[in-house]
Structure 1
Amino acid sequence: MLAPQLLRGAILSPLKRAPFDAPLPDSRPAVSELRVDVEQLDAYSRLCGFPTPGTGHGHRVLPLTYPHVLAFPLAMRLMTTRAFPLPLLGLVHTSIEIEQRRALTTDESLELRVHASKLAPHRRGTEATLVTEARVDGAAVWTSSSTYLARHRTTTAPATPRASKDEALPALGEWTLPRDLGRRYGAVSGDRNPIHLYPLTARLLGFPRAIAHGMWTAARCLAERGSTEASHAAHAAVEFKAPVLLPSTVTYAAEGPAFQLRDPATGALHLSGTLR
């Protein structure tokens, strides 16, 4: 039930203007004995491009990104507390790094934990890092570190430009992203941030129209890379470079462990990542 948390976050957002050196909450939301809903998992997998075995097959290997979805209500619980210093409204996911030690499956009972690890200044505001763990029988099997940016005026000097490491990779195809993608992903993930839903709600938060969820673009790229084949140890790192406006067309490119999403008209980089 994320709607009350979203409402609480929206109400508290105007009250949060903390600097990057503000204290972080000590709370560590957790849930134990969690079982995956196979129908919900399949709906997520279909939308993101992961394979589904079809009706009648109960056993599933979880996509590399799916524990993030399972733990999202815990992250929301943390980010909507009074103690969390950044406003929920307009918060933008800027990166995620995932370390999977072995495959997780729908046959297992999971324990999920989330905590905030740090705040840091950013040239466009303040960035928070949230760490998520998925445990089985007390052992951490899957860990992620996500950064979220609260945009605001800042006196922080822009970082010295560095040579880009994101040289264009060979294009492998184009994807057309529909106008309602944000609403569809919100339905399967629970992430209904207004910046993803409608042009009007996105414009109220500084975007020209709704933008795609970063975690959809990341999942779609990892699905294309065949991340479900890496059903044992896997490591993924994704940086969200620029918003993907909806509707739009993006170019998917990859070479070796690296992948990208780019604007086919301008070549502007939306996302870069690796899967190893």
Structure 2
Amino acid sequence: MNATLARLPSAEGLYLKAATTVLRRPKGKPRIPQYGVQVKGVRVSAQQLSDYRQVCGFADSHTLPITFPHVMAAALHLHLMTQPQFPLPLLGLVHVRNRIEQVRGLGTGESYDFDVRLGEAREVRQGLEFDIVSSVTVDGAEVWNEVMTTLYRTPGPKKPAAKPAPLPASLSDYIAVDAPADIGRRYAKVGKDFNPIHLAPLPARLFGFKRHIAHGMWSAAHCTALLADHLEGEPQLLDVQFRQPLFLPGRAALKFAHGIGEHGSGNGIEFALLARNSDKVHLTGLLR
């Protein structure tokens, strides 16, 4: 089932609707339905883009940051998950990874058609993972796509987690990263993600966190912005795995290495965001 909307919905209004999904209690193995939503002729908000660049650290450009279409589509993600047939409560879902690809730089003045749909679901050690697949086209040709993977934790005993692979020793370059206490609130306004775990300590504690945490997509975008000068031309791929939360305020280190790519292709930048005062890994990724 696919629906076509005349315009992008309000993310703020959908978050109020999302709060009501806390009453959802899936029985047995939840089944993720297959449906999507489309919006045609979407234009970039110059103010939102300017604010996004400032919050995430991107320089001015005639093209969009590779992560910006994600925030343009944020309300469509919420639209799908607040439909009555979606079985899971939204609060408590865990963002696991993102893979974004673009075939060219997307112009700030272009008009874009968005297609967002629920993708594959699979059982994993901690519960149920499912994908949200977003596609952006211009004149019928795809120019950008994303697979965002989210985890719904299910109750019951779990198998021991596999030990994460050690970070490559080649990650030798270093950039200090500071995440101020208000970055969650600032990013929420431009990223249209008002999950309370990112906004202030008290609501975050209600969901089991000692303090509020940075948005994963702010961390990923900020790393991408910091690495932009180390990449030749427009990025084509951003592949990020989220590992452990970055508590706010937080101090981290972006470690990276040039000349690394998928399967040894040698044309990308492999990176990791690490805590500066412990061995905690917040995220790992590849940009090329």
What TM-score results when the alignment is normalised by the length of structure 2?
0.87
Distance of 2:181 and 2:27 partners within structure 1? 34
- Match of residue 91 from structure 1: 93
- Match of residue 52 from structure 1: 60
Q: CA deviation at 1:120?
A: 2.0
- Match of residue 43 from structure 1: 51
SS of 1:11's equivalent?
A: helix
Alignment of 1:188-227 (within 5 A): 188-226=190-228
- The residue type equivalent to 1:265 in the other structure is N
Distance of 1:231 and 1:141 partners within structure 2? 16
- Match of residue 61 from structure 1: 63
Q: Is the 8 A contact 1:117 1:129 kept in 2?
A: yes
Distance of 2:227 and 2:56 partners within structure 1? 12
Alignment of 1:116-135 (within 5 A): 116-135=118-137
**Runs of 4+ displaced beyond 6 Å:** none
Q: CA deviation at 1:96?
A: 0.2
SS of 1:245's equivalent?
A: coil
Q: Is the 8 A contact 2:204 2:210 kept in 1?
A: yes
Taking only the aligned residue pairs, the percentage that are identical comes to 38
Q: CA deviation at 1:177?
A: 1.0
- Match of residue 24 from structure 2: 15
Alignment of 1:68-79 (within 5 A): 68-79=70-81
- Match of residue 164 from structure 1: 165
Instruction: List runs of 5+ in structure 2 lacking aligned partners.
Output: 1-9, 259-268
Which structure is higher in RCO with an 8 Å CA cutoff and minimum separation 6? 1
Distance of 1:261 and 1:206 partners within structure 2? 23
1:150-197, Cα deviation, whole Å (9 max, x unpaired): 2342445345x3561523522512222111111000011111011111
Distance of 1:182 and 1:162 partners within structure 2? 29
SS of 1:173's equivalent?
A: strand
The answer to whether structure 1 residue 266 and structure 2 residue 268 are counterparts is: no
Distance of 1:260 and 1:153 partners within structure 2? 30
Q: Is the 8 A contact 1:124 1:154 kept in 2?
A: no
Question: Using a 3 Å threshold, how does the CA distance of structure 1 residues 108 and 231 change in structure 2: closer, same or farther?
Answer: farther
Distance of 1:29 and 1:129 partners within structure 2? 15
What TM-score results when the alignment is normalised by the length of structure 1?
0.90
Instruction: List runs of 5+ in structure 1 lacking aligned partners.
Output: 54-59
- Match of residue 56 from structure 1: none
Distance of 1:45 and 1:97 partners within structure 2? 20
1:134-153, Cα deviation, whole Å (9 max, x unpaired): 11111111011011122342
Q: Is the 8 A contact 1:261 1:270 kept in 2?
A: yes
Aligned CA-pair RMSD: 2.0
Q: CA deviation at 1:75?
A: 0.4
Distance of 1:162 and 1:246 partners within structure 2? 26
Aligned length: 268
- The residue type equivalent to 1:166 in the other structure is L
Q: Is the 8 A contact 1:90 1:150 kept in 2?
A: yes
1:31 corresponds to which of 35, 39, 43: 39
